[in-house]
């Protein structure tokens, strides 16, 4: 023992005193908390004295209460009344018409109408897990592009939308007919697996969910490249991962689109992840030169104060009103015209047992008059507009 230092018994005594003080502080905190839950008129004189003697604790507990209430309000869904929503949509329609370069950011909220759960809504995945409730697996093979997906595809066709940046991995933008070059699927696509051993990366579009065997930091799908025989991997970017694939993440196009944008429309995204990526918000530009921001969401987002307009409504409702205001017809979704069937690479002999997920299929009925069913391709899709931009690897990070 060092000369002049405390003995072992002295250290133990000091530790006992410290723990006793901590327990006394916790008990005082519990007492003050119980008193604060009472109405002022119901507090005794003794309780009033205790509050007066515990000013710091009262301030701390009141601050905690305000923060809890603030978080609760942020999780509440708010709807604009119909007339107010129509007024806002008219303003949004003017912004869409006048935009020189409009980029759309989409989140899970645009797919809830397809029975795909979102994350932070009242029945969202994270919300239920935080409440200790179980989350049932959705059958995504039954999901189809929503009115919002089809509206975005039409807006792009009319050159009113230049690019779409999506946090969703459900593949519904691709299935809506939106050109591959116009999409950045920052979290990947559940229907696409790739060979990273080939240069450029060789992509395989499937008609089933390829992520059955994959998870965080474990991406091999159990199938092999038809060209080189290397293991295929999914394209999903999980929380805590950095997305490095060129496609379908397409970060290069997302960054370029953000730098050109004078208007950004956010649909169904909480923006709690997207806000972390300065390149998507032109944060290097002075505020006066950043894109005008329009947000459609039922809940609070961290970008609300930056928005030129916040519309509290369901995405499908807002997009229906917007398309009516713009005088544009929303094309109905048809499985007979779904691009995924013409882009898909069939499994080879012996690969049928590599998955058990339900496959997408067209209706057994004949296509309606004027609709032609595109044939299934028999080889990996590499050329044309689908293959362009599939570079070996580009730096990028996940985004939800």
Catalytic residues: 187
Distances (CA, A) of 257 to 93, 251, 267: 20, 10, 17
Three-state SS for 392?
coil
Give one DSSP letter per residue of 53-106, joined into a string. Answer: HTHHHHHHHHHHHHHHHHHHHHHS-----HHHHHHHHHHHHHHHHH-SSEEEEE
169 is in an annotated binding site: no
Q: Is the dihedral of CA 211, 116, 387, 348 positive or negative?
A: positive
Which residues, other chains included, contact 185 with Cβ-Cβ below 8 Å and sequence gap of 6+? Answer: 166, 168, 169, 171, 173, 174, 235, 248, 249, 250
| Burial of 348 per CB tally in 10 Å (0-12, 13-18, 19+) | exposed
Q: Is 198 annotated as a binding residue?
A: yes
Query: Nearest to residue 218, comparing CAs of 245, 238, 199, 198?
Result: 238
In three state form, how does the secondary structure of 235-304 look? Answer: CCCCCCCCCCCCCCCCHHHHHHHHHHCCEEEEECCCCCCHHHCHHHCCCCCCHHHCCEEEEECCCCCCCH
Dist CA 251 CA 322 (whole Å): 28
Closest CA to 176 of 351, 319, 27: 319
Report whether 225 contacts 197 (CB < 8 A): yes
Residue 315 is labelled as binding a ligand: no
Angle of helix 147-157 relative to helix 315-326, nearest 10 degrees? 30
Tokens of 118: 């979102």
Residue where the block lists tokens 């065997």: 213
Burial of 159 (0-12, 13-18, 19+ CB in 10 A): exposed
Asked whether residue 225 is marked as a ligand-binding residue, the answer is: yes
Q: Under DSSP, is residue 225 helix (H, G, I), strand (E, B) or coil?
A: coil
Residues in the annotated binding site: 195, 198, 225, 228
Known binding positions for Zn(2+): 195, 198, 225, 228
């Amino acid at each position: 023992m060092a000369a002049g230092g405390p003995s072992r018994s002295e250290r133990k005594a000091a530790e006992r005193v410290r723990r006793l003080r901590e327990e006394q502080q916790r008990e005082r905190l519990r007492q003050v908390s119980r008193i604060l839950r009472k109405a002022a008129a119901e507090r005794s004189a003794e309780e009033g004295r205790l509050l007066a003697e515990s000013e710091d604790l009262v301030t701390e507990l009141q601050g905690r209460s305000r923060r809890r209430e603030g978080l609760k309000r942020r999780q509440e869904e708010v709807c604009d009344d119909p007339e107010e929503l129509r007024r806002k949509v008219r303003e949004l329609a003017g912004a869409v018409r006048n935009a020189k370069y409009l980029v759309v950011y989409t989140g899970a909220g645009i797919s809830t109408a397809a029975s795909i759960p979102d994350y932070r809504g009242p029945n969202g995945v994270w919300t239920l897990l935080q409440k200790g409730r179980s989350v049932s697996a959705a059958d995504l093979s039954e999901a189809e592009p929503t009115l919002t997906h089809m509206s975005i595809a039409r807006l792009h066709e009319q050159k009113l939308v230049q690019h779409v940046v999506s946090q969703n991995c459900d593949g519904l933008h691709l299935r809506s007919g939106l050109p591959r070059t116009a999409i950045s699927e920052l979290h990947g696509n559940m229907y696409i697996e790739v060979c990273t051993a080939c240069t450029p990366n060789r992509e395989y579009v499937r008609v089933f969910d390829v992520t059955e065997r994959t998870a965080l930091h474990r991406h091999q799908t159990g199938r092999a490249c038809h060209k080189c025989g290397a293991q295929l991997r999914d394209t999903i970017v999980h929380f805590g991962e950095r997305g490095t694939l060129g496609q379908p993440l397409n970060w290069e196009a997302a960054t370029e689109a953000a730098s050109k944008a004078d208007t950004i429309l956010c649909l169904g995204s909480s923006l709690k992840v997207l806000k972390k990526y300065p390149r998507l918000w032109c944060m290097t530009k002075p505020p006066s030169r950043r894109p005008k921001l329009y947000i459609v969401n039922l809940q609070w987002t961290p970008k609300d104060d930056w928005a030129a307009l916040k519309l509290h409504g369901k995405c499908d409702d807002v997009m229906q009103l917007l398309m009516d205001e713009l005088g544009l017809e929303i094309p109905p979704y048809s499985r007979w015209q779904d691009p995924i069937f013409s882009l898909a690479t069939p499994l080879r002999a012996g690969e049928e047992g590599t998955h058990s997920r339900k496959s997408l299929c067209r209706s057994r009925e004949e296509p309606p008059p004027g609709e032609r069913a595109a044939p299934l391709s028999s080889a990996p899709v590499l050329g044309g507009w689908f293959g362009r931009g599939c570079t070996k690897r580009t730096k990028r990070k996940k985004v939800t």
